[in-house]
Chains A and B, each alone.
Chain A
Amino acid sequence: MINLAVFLDFKQNKLTNNSKSLLTFANSLVENYSGIQLHLYTVQAISNCIIPDTVKVESITSFAVDNHMYFSTNASLDNLVNHLKDSNITHVFSSKSILNDLIGAKLSMILHYELITNIKSLQVEDGHFHFSKSIFSGKAIAKMNGIAGPCIAIFPKGFTGDIIPDDQTKTKEIKIDQITSANASTSIIIEESLIQGDIQLAEAEIVVGAGRGLKDPQNWGIIEKLAGTIKAATACSKPVSDLNWRPHHEHVGQTGIKISPKLYIACGISGAIQHLAGVNGSGTIVVINNDPEAPFIKHADYIVLGDLFTVVPELTKLFDEV
């Protein structure tokens, strides 16, 4: 029997879309291969937990502290490690986030479990897990040898495993079992600043990015208006954040944030290879640029050749009418 733990993320007590997809995928493994038992965990404080009715689990274990800092030492994970051991958990799935990466690495070292990230696909055969993962910032794919032993697998945001969920309108509330997490860290938080706004770039399903083609930081109004209309997060290219036109946390690319939204609209971004490395996981890419030679055009699904100062407001208007 394989005991598979799925770590779920919540936002205001609601399962995030990434976690919902991952749970659907894990549940499909349970349904398709005999001998896998599903367990749910979360490292977030939640007051209730509602999951699709099709998932055959009746409780979730909450190891609840919402702060990154509290997991900065091995000792802070003691109770969780013991719980995983007592439950004979051999396989752990989570969705990529800063916190889940941090916990995944520590659990792997403490429990001596193999570790894999950026997963592209997973097949299970005779108790062996066959993973493939995305490498070279999405430019290539690596196939791993099948492993029978324990492992920790961190799936990228937006991972569905090509599983089309059954009707998930029927949901159920499950019991929350608390395990206490001691703050074993001697570190002290001096200052915290939370990202403002509802839509965080790394989580966003739609992103509007803009580059030097905007010419001046004063011109970002049209980008923000389009983003606001289609409930998108805003992003920018590296030159723009280097020039301090936009905050650093909006920088998408090889050395910035990597995003994989369902839709990415790039306005006035030429598409340097470093920027492409940050966005090539996007579902659909729209490029708005007045330069027909811009490298980004070869990597776009839809291309609008034109002046973004007229195209973007026009597009906003059309979306607004919908």
Chain B
Amino acid sequence: MKILVCISIVPDTTSKITKEESDNFLKKSDLTFIVGPYDDYALSRAIEIKESTENVEVAVLHVGLESSEPLIRKCLALGADYAIRINGDPKSSIQIANEICHYVKENNFDLILMGKEAIDYNSGMIHGLVASGLNFNHFSPVMKLDIKNQGIEVQIETDLGKSTIQCNLPAVLGCQEPIAEWKIPSMRGIMTARTKDLKVYEMKNNESNFEIINESVNETNRKQILIPKENLDLLVQALKKDIQFN
């Protein structure tokens, strides 16, 4: 079985987002980047499956620039067999999805995993777009994943609750916790990752009709009113002014 894990490379969750006044875009140079936390869950589960099942191969794919390679190597250190970087600077979810579809059409995978969303642009759409582009089964957000009877059994969250579903392969899944525990690379993993294959291809299409032309920091100014704990009635009065309590 061939599993492809698609990863996003995003600013660390604790990053403070800033912008130089003269620029149109947020300042990216000071930020620390990480593999998307949801993608990390997906990768961890793929590696668990590989470790507990025979004949499973795990590849990692990222669409982005060369600066992402140390983080791609980290995924190899965690236990992925090889990696693919599709070189370019994509501007939209559709563009990234199309690149993934191109690669999968030429290289056949049974299962494509990724996080339910990337925490930078938060669209949460790429898995759905990829599934549709490839005409694969699709579920998201997936909280449990097991390989069963040539297919998979997944537990998904729905708007109404949770469902456990049996589904045939191939499939594309958007993952979220608690699908697996995050892993930390071992020393041996880090050493072997250096010699693992990291193939680089160029993006097939650099054009996007729909893209961001300006970014700004969102300043929500909160009221910051201190209510003495002896006068909680003031809080209740203030809230009742703004909010309809039934």
Among B140, B160, B167, the one with the most A-chain Cβ atoms within 10 Å of its Cβ is: B160
Q: Are A303 and B11 touching (Cβ within 8 A)? A: no
Q: Are B120 and A135 touching (Cβ within 8 A)? A: yes
Give the size of the chain A interface in residues (CB under 8 angstroms). 84
Q: Which secondary structure dominates where chain B touches chain A?
A: mixed
Q: Are B125 and A117 touching (Cβ within 8 A)? A: yes
Q: Are B232 and A314 touching (Cβ within 8 A)? A: yes
Q: In angstroms, how far is the closest chain B Cβ from the Cβ of A251?
A: 8
Q: In angstroms, how far is the closest chain A Cβ from the Cβ of B205?
A: 13
Q: In angstroms, how far is the closest chain B Cβ from the Cβ of A80?
A: 13
Contact of B218 among A72, A141, A284, A310 (CB under 8 A): A141
**From residue 70 to 100 of chain A, which have CB atoms closer than 8 A to chain B?**
72-74, 97-99
Residues of A within 8 A of B129 (CB): 105-106, 108-109, 115
Residues of B within 8 A of A189 (CB): 163-165
Q: In angstroms, how far is the closest chain B Cβ from the Cβ of A273?
A: 5
Contact of B93 among A115, A135, A273 (CB under 8 A): A115
A212 contacts chain B at the CB level, 8 A cutoff:
no
**From residue 217 to 244 of chain A, which have CB atoms closer than 8 A to chain B?**
230-231
Q: In angstroms, how far is the closest chain A Cβ from the Cβ of B54?
A: 25
Q: Are A135 and B215 touching (Cβ within 8 A)? A: yes
Q: Are A193 and B125 touching (Cβ within 8 A)? A: no
Of B42-50, B64-72, B195-203, B221-229, the one with at least 4 CB within 8 A of chain A: B221-229
Residues of A within 8 A of B119 (CB): 136-137, 254, 277
Of A31-39, A56-64, A294-302, the one with at least 4 CB within 8 A of chain B: A294-302
Q: Are B132 and A114 touching (Cβ within 8 A)? A: no
Q: Are A140 and B161 touching (Cβ within 8 A)? A: no
Q: Are A135 and B222 touching (Cβ within 8 A)? A: no
Q: Are A149 and B161 touching (Cβ within 8 A)? A: no
**From residue 248 to 297 of chain A, which have CB atoms closer than 8 A to chain B?**
248-249, 254-256, 262-263, 273-274, 277, 280, 283-286
Q: How far is A263 from B244 in the complex, measured between Cα atoms in Å?
A: 10
B38 contacts chain A at the CB level, 8 A cutoff:
yes
A53 contacts chain B at the CB level, 8 A cutoff:
no
Q: Are A69 and B213 touching (Cβ within 8 A)? A: no
Residues of A within 8 A of B218 (CB): 134, 138-141
Q: Are A143 and B213 touching (Cβ within 8 A)? A: yes
Known interface pairs A99-B159, A191-B163, A274-B13; A302-B122 also in contact (CB < 8 Å): no
Residues of B within 8 A of A318 (CB): 232-233, 236
Contact of B137 among A99, A116, A185 (CB under 8 A): A185
Q: Are A304 and B229 touching (Cβ within 8 A)? A: yes
- Nearest-neighbor residue (CB-CB) of B26 within chain A: A140
Scan A119-151; emit 1 where CB is below 8 A from any B CB, else 0: 000000000000000111111111111010101
Q: Are A187 and B165 touching (Cβ within 8 A)? A: yes
Q: How far is A108 from B132 in the complex, measured between Cα atoms in Å?
A: 9
Residues of A within 8 A of B232 (CB): 304, 311, 314-315, 318
Of B1-9, B78-86, B150-158, the one with at least 4 CB within 8 A of chain A: B150-158
Binding site for A on B (CB under 8 A): 11, 13-14, 17, 19, 26, 37-38, 92-94, 97, 119-125, 127-129, 131-133, 135, 137-141, 143, 153, 156-168, 176-178, 209-218, 220, 222-227, 229, 232-233, 235-236, 238-240, 242-243, 245-246
Give 13 new A-B contacts, CB below 8 A, not counting A136-B26, A322-B236: A69-B163, A72-B138, A109-B97, A142-B121, A144-B211, A147-B209, A149-B209, A194-B160, A248-B177, A277-B13, A285-B222, A302-B227, A305-B229
